[in-house]
Structure 1
Amino acid sequence: MEFVANKSNATLFVGVHGMGGIGKTTLAKTINNKLSNQFELRSFIADIRESCKQNGMHYLQNQLINDILKQDGGVRNKDEGIKFISSKFKGKKVLVLLDDADEVVQLKCLAGDHDWFSSGSKIIITTRNKRILEEARVDYNYEHKEMDNNQSLIMFSKHAFRRNSPPREFEDLTHEVVSITGGLPLSLEVFGSLLCGKEPTQWINTIKKLKRVPHTEVHKKLRISYEALGYRQKQIFLDIACFFICTNKIIASYMWDACGFFPSEGIEALIFMSLIKVGNDHKLKMHDQLRDLGREIVCEEN
């Protein structure tokens, strides 16, 4: 918000990236709502990744045209859409939220360049893949990270107890569940809702299960990023999940290189998809939820 406020008269492309379930859309919607009173012309294009697969790019372009111009664009293909939007929106100051893009071509079809819009326009983009934002040359690129322990405790408590902190008899159990989530908002919400209204004995049994068997609703979201990988990238991801967390990436790369997995390219792709991190000591790191997802996939396959 500080960045946007300091450049209020400029046309800005703002990107938010991070792993699945971390709250990118929630953050983008909050920014969108704070800015909305400054714009008469607004559009929120939700779930671009899935909608584009099901309906085609021209469907999303027509949605954008209808939101901004209040008319049916009649666009039949993406090239027609690019031509229409780039020419008809030039004098329009717009606020557009493009949610969950997974290919740079989607951004080029909906908001190809700054000069498509009038000065003062704001385009907010969310994605799991940082590379898309770099290729689109956004003006501000923000990595949305996991919640800290205090934030996690508050969010979990809101879903589990409908208040900001746990009752005294649930304090230890709450801290145990929060530690399992690893600060992932999606996990906090799902697990909090799962345990809401349950007795302490049920909490204990559920915690044991969560430690053994990852919650399916969380993994449905996280698995989207995994399925988007190529075969070699998937193998590297699964290897890290099972064997190489806290291992020097150079050591692990010797094996991947021998297997023909092109480790430099694969590791870079996993980093850009927010599926792993590499520390300053070159050690591979992975969120606990993603680690458990990888191990679950291996158990399913074998």
Structure 2
Amino acid sequence: MGGAGKTMLAKAIFQELKAQFDTFSFIESVKELQRKKILLILDDVENLIIAEDLSRVCDWFGEGSRIIITSRDMQVLKHASAFSTYHVLDLDFDDAFHLFSLKAFKQYEPFKGYMGLSKSVVKYCQGNPLALIVLGCFLYGRGKEEWESALDKLNQTPHKNIVDVLKLSFDGLDNKQQNLFLYLAFLINARVYKSFDLIRQLYGSSVHIEMSVLRERSLISVSQKEKIGMHDLVLQMGFEIARQQLFSSPKTPVRLWRHDEIEAIRCMSLDASKIKRIALRASNFQKMYNLIFLKVYKSDREKPSRLNICGDLDYLSEEIRFFSWEEYPLPYVPLQFCAENLITLEMP
């Protein structure tokens, strides 16, 4: 019944409780809102059901109303029945350089003597605005030695604030999708030709839906020739996740990014021209029963291999899919070598 005090009571409750909430809004009349021309912006929507529900209320609002949704997941926008979608592109070098300079120097150009260092940072960021802002703010007011030290560190480990934001897309994946992403990151880092056909042979036909999810979350790209790619910062995020997995659960099968991460190997890639001289016991391979990928290569052909095999290599995992060994040191393949699952064999 009108005039009973419903609105007055609702306003009193609103004033009483609003301090307990992060955000709040009181809409006095839904009917009035229904006729109004509004602009509604919803940022970082992840839930498919919420997105679908939004599409059902569009008719409530007045003619000319606009609803803008941002999401890391293209599938969310499909469920929202978006009239049009826009994929935000990376900045070109000039725009990226200006954005970084504004954060690092509070002006459009670097200070004298910082031009080369600034270009190195901008190149590292690969046009990603978040990385440009985070690193620009981090380097603001620091001396050249600190800049050089920061760049050296970035080549080993990405900045935590950048990883934390990029990792949100990874965290939204299920276990199978997360593992596929990490394997793809490993293959890209190992400079293996990445095609849908190779991935399908590794994971079976069900890989198509998993790859589709990774694309929708902008974790990978696929060219017209079906070659799989990954943004450099996303690739670095993969390295960091793999390292964290190694430290948190050393007995779980993982991917080997560096030669000093030996425990429970599933994938291994070694640059024999750059590692410290090591002797790998042939018997170690008997423990690598989860190994599916093994690549030994030399990025510097002028340098000798620093990897030595001690003993007779008489065993390789039955799960091995990819075997590539530049300057293979033995005159024969392992005696207990099962080629049933092998996809690629390279022994240049």
State the TM-score, normalizing by the size of structure 2: 0.60
Residue identity opposite 1:128 in structure 2: R
Matched, 1:104 2:37: no
In structure 1, the partner of 2:235 is 291
SS of residue in 2 equivalent to 1:265: helix
| 1:82-126 deviation digits (Å, cap 9, x = unpaired) | xxx6x6643121110111100232234455343121111111110
Given that residues 244 and 252 in structure 1 are in contact (C-alpha distance below 8 angstroms), is that contact kept between their aligned partners in structure 2? Answer: no
In structure 1, the partner of 2:129 is 185
CA distance in 1, matches of 2:186, 2:72: 23
CA distance in 1, matches of 2:115, 2:203: 44
Matched, 1:272 2:219: no
Residue identity opposite 2:200 in structure 1: S
- Relative contact order: is structure 1 or structure 2 higher (C-alpha 8 Å, sep ≥ 6)? 1
CA, structure 1 residues 156+176, in 2 after alignment: closer, same or farther (shift >3 Å)?
same
In structure 2, the partner of 1:257 is 204
1:1-302 correspondence runs (5 A) = 63=24, 66=26, 69=27, 71=28, 89-110=33-54, 112-244=56-188, 247-257=194-204, 262-302=206-246
State the TM-score, normalizing by the size of structure 1: 0.69
CA distance in 2, matches of 1:95, 1:237: 37
CA distance in 2, matches of 1:278, 1:147: 20
Given that residues 182 and 242 in structure 2 are in contact (C-alpha distance below 8 angstroms), is that contact kept between their aligned partners in structure 1? Answer: yes
Given that residues 195 and 203 in structure 1 are in contact (C-alpha distance below 8 angstroms), is that contact kept between their aligned partners in structure 2? Answer: yes
Larger Rg over CA atoms: 2
CA, structure 1 residues 111+136, in 2 after alignment: closer, same or farther (shift >3 Å)?
closer
Question: Normalized per residue, which structure has more helix?
Answer: 1
Given that residues 55 and 80 in structure 2 are in contact (C-alpha distance below 8 angstroms), is that contact kept between their aligned partners in structure 1? Answer: no
| 1:54-75 deviation digits (Å, cap 9, x = unpaired) | xxxxx99x946x2xx3x3x8xx
SS of residue in 2 equivalent to 1:142: coil
SS of residue in 1 equivalent to 2:67: strand
Residue identity opposite 2:199 in structure 1: A
| C-alpha RMSD over aligned residues | 2.1
Percent identity (aligned): 27
Extract unaligned runs of 5+ from structure 2: 1-20, 247-348
Extract unaligned runs of 5+ from structure 1: 1-58, 74-84
CA distance in 1, matches of 2:136, 2:158: 14
Report how many aligned residue pairs link the two structures. 223
